[in-house]
Amino acid sequence: MAGGRVRRLSRELLLLVGICVLVLLVVNAFVARPFVVPSGSMENTLRPGDRLVVNRLAYAFGGTVQRGDVVVFDGTGSFLPYAAEPGAVRGALAELGLLPTGNSVYVKRVIGVGGDRVTCCGTDGRLRVNGVPLEETDYLAAGDAPSSVAFDVVVPAGKLWVMGDHRSASSDSRDHLGEPGGGTVPEEKVIGRADWVVFPVGRWSSLDRPAGFSSIGGSTGHGHQG
């Protein structure tokens, strides 16, 4: 009798664990996904090892990627020609946020969206979007210049120009200028918007869109570059 009770409890426990795992996988796939920051390319906004909540519904139901958003995206085909497939166990743990995601997934800040002309640097040393100088003091890493690489790009429709906040330590759109796509990332490759840092506890914070991007307003097109 006791053995039967133990077996029944074991089955119920396994069923409960299975349901919990299934719920987590569904939430990760459609609602919110955990992400482990793999490098210092976004310091000091994000630090290596920070755990993020990536909002997968941010751009659903008519929502669009905005300048200033911190996004997590698959760089296969833009930043990388292909991606090695992780093992089944490692892939599952990465999906649950228990291990860093594979090397094809990046986290960067959106600087330009489709139709924008993004240049660096003007006579004042600042990055410009559609001719408007971008105020970056809220997030640019201390001591970093907006860019050590000069560029002048028009972002194609449906694409994004992305950069790290730690510009001197970030491999981003600037590093892929001569490749197919010109360094831009297709919007459909965006996994979601990074909304919260949830771990370590002392790093809890929301990742709000910086005020400097409000100066760009609704401006579109190629703009005059001074």
Report the run of H or E that residue 23 belongs to, with start and end.
helix 2-30
Report the run of H or E that residue 95 belongs to, with start and end.
helix 88-95
159 is catalytic: no
Rounded Cα–Cα distance for residues 70 and 59 (Å)? 13
Rounded Cα–Cα distance for residues 118 and 1 (Å)? 74
Query: Helix (H, G, I), strand (E, B), or coil: what is residue 224?
Result: coil
Token pair of 41 as six digits: 């390319």
170 is catalytic: no
Pick the closest to residue 190 from 27, 41, 64 (CA basis): 64
Annotated catalytic residue: which of 78, 108, 147, 173?
108
Annotated catalytic residue: which of 41, 78, 104, 170?
41
Known catalytic residues are: 41, 108
